[in-house]
């Protein structure tokens, strides 16, 4: 025997009914129930559109109610304007052979306008209202009254829906904003790439590289692979066996990979770290694209390091790539770090162009004077960390027109960049480096030539 299931009447349905009842009752005390004899807008006013508006809105979350309400208002407004505009055609509309194409044109115009306002949800109302005006034969000045009355009713319905939705329990949670997901098509020829790290699941690299691969039409997939510290040799063997075309490396593997490579490029040797590995013909080729990626990001901002005095804050892995490439490009760099011994060690790689210093406010102020470029390579100000600069007075010492670059890209504007911008300095965040080093890695992996400017625009539109 077929089981009969009894439909469940939940709080949402009750709320809808309450909103409809209120939307009707609110018109009753004012005797506004479509009474022609009242004339003007009042004669056209009644609860129908208010009830319809409240039905739609009360069924969604509070946020969606507002959005849907705005769409509905836009739809009613657009439909009202278009419907009344047909008045210009006058008695011609009495001919159904003229009225029919006008109806079609008005609907097309209504949908087009709603899409122009990016409100596809408004399209239905934008079409219904002029149709009602044209088909039911609302004519003359009454057409204006009719349109205005519908807009007023809709406003009343939306306000009631919002009030009921907010006042009664059972708020649906607002849907969480979805992480951008990238769909990749796979077949048996698809080649594998990944990023390794520990931790690595937060990495933006898969989104970045898969977006680029898709745009370039290359049959690769880019994954995220956690590899514990100290396990790079084992990972390399697995990657070879699994047929990986290559991988990127982030903390803490960049140095550990160095002795495991069959061949190293000049920058990997210079910086003493590998961030890109290509696996070809059983061999591992190690590259470092961070330093060159940084120089390219400076070039994108119109900054030429040759002969420039630069203040670099920090002496960690990123600072090393930045400082050594800046020095190679002919800049004079002072490296200020909390642990001054680390800055001193970094500077031994190019003592002619690199000079270590401390990180106290007095030293930072002194060293900032005369520097035309400041690069923050510390994690101070990064999202998810507690560290903040204790003092920003060093920004006052930078000459006019100096540039301040922060390698951090989340948040897009750190407190350092905001203060620098407010003081009139040029600023840039870490997205330039992120994108340029990824573009260079992509070229190594695939052999494709990648237009970095185009990729930066694409990635900015899609991911940042
Ligand atoms: P790292 O090796 O851990 O170095 C961190 C640096 O920050 C060290 O110099 C450290 O000083 C300094 N630091 C940390 N906390 C501090 C505090 N409370 N006060 C003063 N200094 C402090 O990290 P990394 O790999 O070089 O990365 C550094 C930053 O660059 C991070 O924010 C990272 O997100 C960013 N980054 C961006 C990109 C990109 O693509 N845009 C690429 C790489 C890195 P001590 O030596 O005294 O500990």
- Please, which pLDDT band fits residue 195 given cuts at 50, 70 and 90? very high
Phi, psi of 410 (to 5 degrees): -130, 110
Contacts of 272 by beta carbon, 8 Å cutoff, 6+ apart: 255, 258, 320
Q: Max alpha carbon distance in the chain (Å)? A: 95
- What global pTM score does this model have? 0.67
Q: Are 158 and 72 in contact (CB under 8 A)?
A: yes
Burial class from Cβ neighbours inside 10 Å (0-12, 13-18, 19+) for residue 283 reads: exposed
Contacts of 88 by beta carbon, 8 Å cutoff, 6+ apart: none
Query: Which amino acids are annotated catalytic?
Result: 254
Cβ of residue 338 lying under 6 Å from some atom of ligand 1: yes
Residues 76, 186: Cα–Cα separation, whole Å = 46
pLDDT of residue 342: 96
426 strand-pairing partners: 403
By most ligand atoms within 8 Å of CB, the mutation choice from 378, 394, 428 for ligand 1 is 378
Cβ of residue 316 lying under 6 Å from some atom of ligand 1: yes
Q: Which of 48-62, 106-120, 410-424 has the highest mean pLDDT?
A: 410-424
Contacts of 115 by beta carbon, 8 Å cutoff, 6+ apart: 123
Phi, psi of 369 (to 5 degrees): -60, 125
pLDDT of residue 350: 96
Cα-to-centroid distance, 65 and ligand 1 (Å): 44
pLDDT of residue 177: 58
pLDDT of residue 38: 77
The angle formed by the CA atoms of residues 382, 387 and 391, to the nearest 5 degrees, is 105
- How does pLDDT run across 100-139, given as a tens digit for each residue? 899 999 999 999 999 888 888 889 889 988 888 888 767 6
- Of residues 35 and 329, the one with the higher pLDDT is 329
Atom of ligand 1 nearest to the CA of 430: 41
Cis peptide, bond prior to residue 230, ω within 30 of zero: no
Tell me the pairing of strands 276-280 and 283-287: antiparallel
Atom of ligand 1 nearest to the CA of 378: 7
pLDDT of residue 383: 84
Cα-to-centroid distance, 238 and ligand 1 (Å): 30
Cα-to-centroid distance, 180 and ligand 1 (Å): 27
Cα–Cα separations (whole angstroms), residue 53 to 66, 71, 130, 154: 12, 11, 17, 6
Atom of ligand 1 nearest to the CA of 429: 41
Q: Which of 17-31, 128-142, 163-177 has the highest mean pLDDT?
A: 17-31
* Of 93-102, 288-297, 304-313, 342-351, minimum mean pLDDT range: 93-102
Tell me the pairing of strands 244-249 and 276-280: antiparallel
By most ligand atoms within 8 Å of CB, the mutation choice from 316, 347, 381 for ligand 1 is 316
Which string of b and e fits 243-274 if b means at least 16 CB within 10 Å? ebbbbbbbebbbbbbbebbeebbebbebbbbb
- The protein residue with its alpha carbon nearest to ligand 1, atom 39, reads 434
Atom of ligand 1 nearest to the CA of 359: 20
Cα-to-centroid distance, 410 and ligand 1 (Å): 13
The pLDDT mean for the chain works out to 90
Cβ of residue 151 lying under 6 Å from some atom of ligand 1: no
- Please, which pLDDT band fits residue 205 given cuts at 50, 70 and 90? very high
Cα 194 → chain centroid: 23
Cα-to-centroid distance, 383 and ligand 1 (Å): 12
Residues 50, 30: Cα–Cα separation, whole Å = 15
Cβ of residue 387 lying under 6 Å from some atom of ligand 1: yes
pLDDT of residue 410: 86
Residue 1 has pLDDT above 70, yes or no: no
- How does pLDDT run across 326-346, given as a tens digit for each residue? 999 999 999 999 999 999 999
Cα–Cα separations (whole angstroms), residue 30 to 37, 45, 146, 193, 461: 14, 10, 18, 70, 52
Cα-to-centroid distance, 376 and ligand 1 (Å): 8
Averaged over 21-44, what is the pLDDT?
83
């Amino acid at each position: 025997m077929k089981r009969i299931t009894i439909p469940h009447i939940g709080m949402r349905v009750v709320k809808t009914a309450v909103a409809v009842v209120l939307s009707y009752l609110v018109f009753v005390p004012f005797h506004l129930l479509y009474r022609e004899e009242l004339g003007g807008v009042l004669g056209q006013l009644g609860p129908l559109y208010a009830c319809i508006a409240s039905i739609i809105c009360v069924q969604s979350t509070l946020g969606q109610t507002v959005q849907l309400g705005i769409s509905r208002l836009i739809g009613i407004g657009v439909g009202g304007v278009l419907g009344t505009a047909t008045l210009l055609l006058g008695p011609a509309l009495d001919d159904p052979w003229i009225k029919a194409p006008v109806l079609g044109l008005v609907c097309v115009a209504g949908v087009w306008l709603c899409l122009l306002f990016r409100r596809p949800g408004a399209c239905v109302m934008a079409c219904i209202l002029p149709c009602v005006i044209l088909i039911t034969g609302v004519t003359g000045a009454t057409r204006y009254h009719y349109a205005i009355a519908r807009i007023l009713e809709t406003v009343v319905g939306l306000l009631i829906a919002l009030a009921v939705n907010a006042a009664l329990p059972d708020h649906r949670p607002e849907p969480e904003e979805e992480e951008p997901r990238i769909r990749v098509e796979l077949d048996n020829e698809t080649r594998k790439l990944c990023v390794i790290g520990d931790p690595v699941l937060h990495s933006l690299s898969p989104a970045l590289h898969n977006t680029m691969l898709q745009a370039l039409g290359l049959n690769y997939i880019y994954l995220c692979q956690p590899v514990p510290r100290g396990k790079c040799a084992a990972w390399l063997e697995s990657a070879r066996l699994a047929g990986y075309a290559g991988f990127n490396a982030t903390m803490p593997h960049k140095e550990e990979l160095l002795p495991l490579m069959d061949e190293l490029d000049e920058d990997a040797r210079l910086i003493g770290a590998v961030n890109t590995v290509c696996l070809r013909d059983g061999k591992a080729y190690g590259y470092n694209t961070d330093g060159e990626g940084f120089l390219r990001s400076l070039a994108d901002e119109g900054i030429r390091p040759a002969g420039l005095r630069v203040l670099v804050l920090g002496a960690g892995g990123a600072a090393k790539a930045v400082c050594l490439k800046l020095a190679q490009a002919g800049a004079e760099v002072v490296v200020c770090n909390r642990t001054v011994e680390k800055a001193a060690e970094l500077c031994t790689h190019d003592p002619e162009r690199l000079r270590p210093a401390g990180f106290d406010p007095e030293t930072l102020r002194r060293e900032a004077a005369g520097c035309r470029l400041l690069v923050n390579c510390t994690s101070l100000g990064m999202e998810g960390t507690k560290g903040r600069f204790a003092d920003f007075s060093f920004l006052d010492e930078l000459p006019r027109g100096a540039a301040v670059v922060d390698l951090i890209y989340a948040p897009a504007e750190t407190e350092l960049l905001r203060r620098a911008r407010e003081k009139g300095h040029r600023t840039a965040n870490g997205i330039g480096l992120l994108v340029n080093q990824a573009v260079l890695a992509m070229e190594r992996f695939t052999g494709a030539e990648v237009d970095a400017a185009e990729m930066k625009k694409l990635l900015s539109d899609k991911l940042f």
